[in-house]
Amino acid sequence: MTQYSRLTNFRGFNLEADGTPKPYEQRIKPFNFMLAAHAALAGQPAAADTREFQLIAPYELDPRKWLELPWIDRATGQRVEVTTDQGVGSLGLARIKDFREHAAEYRVRREAKALASDGGRSGWHTRGLLQRRPVQATRLINLGKESNLLEESTASVIHTLDDVQNEYRPQDPLVRYILPVIRERLATA
């Protein structure tokens, strides 16, 4: 996704109510900062694709104004009204996580990179020194070392690995077709 394709989400924001462009200093421009919000559990509008739903808005320094910003679903470009009130649900309203919910989730999240002191799965209840989780390679994949959409990846606005990961498949027929057969035969022999 390029800077331009992200900018198209704000196309409507850059227009006045009568359809004429806003003055240049009031528009969203390439390389501006923006805000991203995460929907609470089951907090997406009914019509939203739960796998791709991501709210973005123009950058605003004052957090008291964040709920009134023109939030946009990054996947569809549609404007979405937001709230942090629990129990509020409607077709076009999204409930976003507040800082309390983020902190509560962080406190009870599972540590995926470690095992509990007894060798079992670690979790919020785990006490003691964590153990290293053993890792076993199941296959080799040639991945590029490019930094595709690095900022979006760290800001959690990328939802699928295919958006940021380059996989290179061998072009040589020997490597692609013959060596896998030889490896398979050696493994079964």
Nearest to 128 by CA among 114, 112, 116: 116
In a domain, 111, yes or no: no
Instruction: Indicate whether 153 belongs to any domain.
Output: yes
pLDDT of residue 2: 47
Contacts of 70 (CB under 8 A, 6+ apart): 13, 57, 58, 79
SS3 of 15, please?
strand
> What is the C-alpha separation between 17 and 22, in angstroms, rounded?
9
Q: What is the mean pLDDT of residues 144-158?
A: 67
Residue pLDDT, tens place only, 79-116: 888 888 876 655 668 888 888 888 888 888 878 888 98
Query: Of 97, 127, 159, which residue sits at a domain end?
Result: 97
Q: Is the residue at 104 inside a domain?
A: no
Q: At 72, which helix (H) or strand (E)?
A: strand 72-73
Containing domain of residue 164, as a range?
Answer: 137-189
Number of domains into which the chain is organized? 2
Is 95 in a helix, a strand, or coil? strand
Residue 154 has pLDDT above 90, yes or no: no
**What is the rounded average pLDDT of the residues 117-121?**
88
* pLDDT tens column, 43-83: 888 777 777 888 888 889 999 999 999 898 888 878 888 88
**Model pTM?**
0.59
